[in-house]
Structure 1
C-alpha cells in the first residue's frame, strides 16, 4: 500500500543546510497499523509531511498503491497533533467534520450528512454535532479531528503525535479508539509518536528511527494479541520486553548507533509470553 524509498530531506535557506532525513526506507501493507518512534528532533514530522504530499523530498520517493506521491494523494487523511488549530472555532462540530467532503463534487448533501453522522457515531460524539469546538474538552476536540478524517473514508490514515496534548486518561481512551476504528474500517495507519508505550500498545509493527540525519534503525514486529486493553496488555510480560527493546534502541540512537541485537524468545508451549534473552555472563 505504502512504500518509502531512500527518502532524504534537506532544509536549505538563510545560510543553513540541515539534513533532517538521510535515507529512510520501509513499507506498509494494506490494512497494517505501523507506529514510528525515534529520538526528539529526528525528523518524524518531516517524514509524515513527505508521506502526506505536503513536503517535497530532496531525493527518494514515496509510493502509494504504486503511484509516486507528488501532492496530497486522494484516499489519504491526516490527523495532526494540534487539534485546536485544525478545527474552526466559529463552525459547529458537524460543519468541521463535513468541510473536506464539500470538495467532493460527486457527494450529495444528504450523503455528506450521512458520512458525518456515521463518523461522529464512530468516535462516540453523536450528541455534539451542534456544539462548537471551544465548548468541548481537548480529548473531544481530537475526536472531532479523527471523525473528520474518518468521514473522508480514507484508505490511508496518517497521524502525527495526535495525543501528545491530552491528559493520560484521555490518551488511553483515544488509543483504544484508534485500535477500534482501525479494525472496523480496515484502513492502513501510519502513526507517529514519541511515546514508546503507545507505539507498542497500538502498533502491529514499530519502526524505530535513528537520530538526525535519520535512517531506520530497526523494525520490530509487535506480535501482541489483536484484542488489547489498557490493563491486561500493558501487564503482559511480552509488552514489557518489547517496550524495553524499543527504549534501548532509542537510547542507543541518541548515542549515535544501534543497540546490540537481543532476540525475543518464541512463546513457550505452556503459553508463557516471550521475553528478551539474558545475555549477561
Structure 2
C-alpha cells in the first residue's frame, strides 16, 4: 500500500532512541523528510546520519526540551525554516515507563509533576507549535504515543497516559475542521533499549531475574512474544498518512492482546 507520504515533512519527538527512532526511519523510508528532536544532540546527530544512510531521506537533528515552551517553539521554527512546513507530528518524548511506579507512601510528587509536564504538557506544547503550520498546509496528522499504564492501575505514572487520551480527544475536536487528525497509540511490551531497564527494575522488586520478568510478560500476552518497534512504527506511519484521514480522536492499543480490558 502506498501511504502517500512522499514529500511530507514530519517531526518526531524523542526521535533519537527507541520507538521514536524507528518511527523516524519508517517515515523516512515512506518518503517523508523528518526532523528528530530530543534533549541530546549527539544522540540525535548519530541517529539522523544513520537513518539518512539507510533510507536516502533528508533527516534533521534539532535539540529541544519538551518541558520548555520556548525550546519547543524554536525547534519548530527551525524545522519550518529547514523544510518549509511541518505536516506530521509524532509525540513520543517522555521518560520510558514513567518516573513514579512505586507505592503511594514512596511516590515523589515532584517526579509525578515532571512526568506530566514532559509527556502531557509537552505534547500540548508541540501540538500548539505545529498546528498553525498544519492549518496553513491544509493537512495535518498528530500521533501521540501513550502507554498501557493508562489502562491499568499498577503505576501512578499511568495518569499521564490517561491525560494524553483526553488531550487527544479535545484536540481532535478542535483541529478536525482544519483537516488535522489526532490519535493516540498505546504500545505494549516492545523490544527497545529501554525495555531491558524495566526488566531489571522489576526483577529487583520481585526478587527474580530479568529473564523471568520478560518471560512473565510473554506468558501473559496472547501472541506469546514481545513486539518489535517496527510494528509500532508501521501503525504510526499509517495514522500519519492520507489513508487514515477518517480516523481521529481514537486510542489504539498495539500490545499483542496484553490488555484484558474491553474498550468500546
State TM-score, norm by structure 1: 0.35
Which structure has more helix as a fraction of its residues? 2
TM-score w.r.t. length of structure 2: 0.37
More strand by share: 1
Asked which structure has the greater RCO (Cα within 8 Å, sep 6+), the reply is 1
